[in-house]
Amino acid sequence: MKARLLVLLLLVCGATSFSEAATRLQFSVWMRAIDNKTVSVQKHLAAGREAEALADARALQQLYADMAAFFERDYPAADAVAISRDGERLAAAIPVHLATGDAVGAAQAARAIALACNDCHDPYKPLP
């Protein structure tokens, strides 16, 4: 009975550290995607390529939502959650601006995302 409990405990611990490691790896992948897409969304907007800009904005919205969840659940940090949610909202605003023909508003939202990177990097990069 005791041995079985121990095995169960070990399994649970092993599973937990595995999923944390996977999330950390995912975080690097997300961050490189954020790096690429904040640049390309601004290029597409500047060139008037709306469909491409929309795709980047939607991807950024999801990436920032995933990042917010990481800082809520895997590495609790309230200010990092707030910065991530701001980025998520800014990304979500891009399609709204485009739908109303507000190209300047869309470009400003994209630029605001790119300007906020260091607000999070200064306190949190690299993760311990």
Q: Which of 14, 16, 99, 125 binds ligand HEC (CB under 6 A)?
A: 125
The answer to whether 28 contacts ligand HEC (rule: CB under 6 A) is yes
**How many residues belong to the site for ligand HEC (CB under 6 A)?**
22
Question: Both tokens of residue 119?
Answer: 């607000």
Integer angstrom CA distances of residue 90 from 57, 74, 114, 115: 9, 23, 10, 12
CB neighbour list of residue 79: distance below 8 Å, 6 or more residues apart: 123
The answer to whether 83 contacts ligand HEC (rule: CB under 6 A) is yes
Footprint of ligand HEC on 39-68 (CB under 6 A): 67
Answer yes or no: are the C-beta atoms of 24 and 67 closer than 8 Å. no
Q: What's the number of CA atoms in the CB half-sphere (13 Å) around residue 73?
A: 12
The answer to whether 73 contacts ligand HEC (rule: CB under 6 A) is no
* Least distance CB 104 / ligand HEC (angstroms): 20
Residues that bind ligand HEC (CB under 6 A): 27-28, 31-32, 34-35, 38, 67, 80, 83-84, 87, 113-114, 116-117, 120-121, 124-127
